[in-house]
């Protein structure tokens, strides 16, 4: 394998110029030594060679360098490389396409903000793909009807990728919500879910945003918006999104009580809110 030759001659010239610059810096060393006289070698070693150089035979030992102020530890290799999630904000309005190429059909448009006024984020899934033109595409999950659609967008339509280690699991049969971090449960609580005629949809979703400090006791102190949408309440304002929030009727939990949202007792949603970052993937089963 041939290597680019690099700077070759230019490198030597550059090195020479740099060296000249260095001489200026180092002259101070020599000059200082000259003015104070040579003090490093004992008189016996001053015998000059024919090159005028001194024999440095009996030098005092060089002091030990100071110990490092702090330690740099072992390299930190990643665990969980495959099974963590990422999300990214949508930077410009763009169509999510069925395949990673510009000519593919559109699955859905993606916007930059949500109706809550928060940045619209999408879950990034799988590996990116570079097309024949060198353009990088990423596969994303977004809110959709029917639920569960994914599509491809150009990487440059999205902003920074944010890593998420948590995973929220909502068990509709056992009426239980469990939060996992790095695969291990760290929080669990009973929930109220959709009534039979307004079922909470099953599938893969993610936490879309977080609302706080609103005055609406029906929703408790904190509400999380998810990417899940009700498949029956399609005329609901702002699209009929499923949320995770508190309640002013805790006595109903656990139970099948809501229009599709996942309700927690207020003390539970407050605990959950300290542990649940936006962007967390959700499995509703």
Q: Kindly state the smallest distance separating residue 117's Cβ from another protein, in Å.
A: 5
Instruction: Assess 84 for contact with another protein (CB under 8 A).
Output: yes
The CA distance from 280 to 206, in Å, is 5
Phi-psi region for residue 210, left (φ > 0), alpha (ψ -120 to 50) or beta? Answer: beta
225 belongs to the binding site for another protein (CB under 8 A) = yes
In sequence order, what are the residues at sequence separation of 6 or more whose Cβ sits closer than 8 angstroms to the Cβ of residue 270?
221, 222, 246
Cβ of residue 261: shortest distance to another protein, in angstroms?
Answer: 5
245 is catalytic: yes
Cα(136)–Cα(115) distance, integer angstroms? 29
In this structure, the strands spanning 162-164 and 262-263 are: unpaired
Pick out residues in 10-29 that bind another protein (CB under 8 A): 11-12, 14-16, 18-19, 22-23, 25-29
Nearer to another protein, 62 or 132 (CB): 62
Could you tell me the end-to-end alpha-carbon distance of the chain, in angstroms, rounded to an integer? Answer: 54
Residue matched to tokens 């949408």:
229
Q: Are β-strands 255-258 and 94-97 bridged in parallel, bridged antiparallel, or unpaired?
A: unpaired
Binding residue for another protein, selected from 5, 133, 184, 274, defined by CB under 8 A: 5
**The only residue of 95, 99, 116, 171 in contact with another protein, by rule CB under 8 A:** 116
102 binds another protein (CB under 8 A): no
Nearer of residues 18 and 102 to another protein, judged by Cβ: 18
User: Catalytic: 56?
Assistant: no
- Enclosing H/E stretch for 151: strand 150-154
Which of the stretches 82-90, 99-107, 145-153, 169-177 binds another protein when contact is defined by CB under 8 A?
82-90
Does 101 sit near another protein (CB under 8 A)? no
Smaller CB separation from another protein, 96 or 219: 219
**Residue 132 is a binding residue for another protein (CB under 8 A):** no
Binding track over 247-266 against another protein, x by CB under 8 A = -----------xxxx-----
Residue 122: which residues within 8 A CB-CB, separation 6 or more?
A: 87, 88, 90, 110, 140, 141, 142, 153, 158
Residues 166-195 that bind another protein (CB under 8 A): none
Of 95, 101, 104, 118, the residue at the interface with another protein (CB under 8 A) is: 118
Q: Are 201 and 145 in contact (CB under 8 A)?
A: no
Least distance (Å) from another protein to the CB of residue 238? 4
| Segments in 186-281 forming alpha helices (H) | 266-275
Closest contact distance (angstroms) between CB of 5 and another protein is 7
What is the distance between the alpha carbons of residues 194 and 196, in angstroms, rounded to a whole number? 6
Q: Both tokens of residue 228?
A: 């899940």
The mark string for 229-248 relative to another protein (x by CB under 8 A, - otherwise) is -x--x--xxx-xxxx-x---
Stretch that binds another protein, among 92-100, 103-111, 139-147, 221-229 (CB under 8 A): 221-229
The set of catalytic residues is: 245, 261
């Amino acid at each position: 394998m041939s290597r680019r030759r690099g700077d070759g001659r230019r490198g030597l010239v550059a090195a020479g110029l740099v060296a000249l610059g260095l001489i200026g810096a180092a002259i101070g060393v020599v000059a200082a030594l000259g003015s104070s006289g040579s003090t490093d070698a004992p008189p016996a070693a001053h015998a000059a060679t024919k090159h005028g150089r001194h024999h440095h035979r009996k030098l005092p030992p060089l002091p030990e360098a100071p110990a490092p102020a702090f330690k740099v530890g072992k390299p930190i290799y990643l665990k969980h490389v495959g099974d963590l999630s990422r999300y990214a904000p949508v930077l410009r309005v763009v169509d999510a396409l069925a395949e990673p190429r510009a000519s593919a059909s559109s699955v859905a448009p993606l916007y930059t903000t949500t109706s809550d006024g928060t940045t619209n984020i999408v879950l990034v899934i799988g590996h990116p793909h570079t097309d024949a033109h060198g353009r990088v595409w990423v596969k994303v999950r977004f809110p959709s009807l029917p639920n569960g659609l994914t599509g491809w967008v150009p990487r440059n339509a999205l902003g920074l990728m944010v890593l998420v280690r948590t995973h929220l699991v909502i068990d509709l049969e056992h009426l239980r919500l469990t939060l996992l971090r790095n695969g291990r449960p760290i929080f669990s609580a009973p929930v109220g879910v959709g009534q039979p005629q307004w079922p909470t949809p099953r599938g893969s979703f993610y936490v879309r945003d977080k609302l706080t400090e609103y005055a609406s006791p029906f929703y408790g102190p904190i509400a999380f918006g998810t990417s899940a949408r009700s498949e029956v309440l399609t005329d609901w304002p702002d699209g009929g999104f499923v949320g995770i929030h508190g309640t002013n009727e805790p006595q109903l939990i656990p139970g099948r009580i809501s229009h599709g949202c996942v309700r927690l007792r207020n003390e539970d949603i407050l605990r959950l809110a300290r542990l649940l970052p936006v962007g967390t993937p959700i499995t509703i089963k």
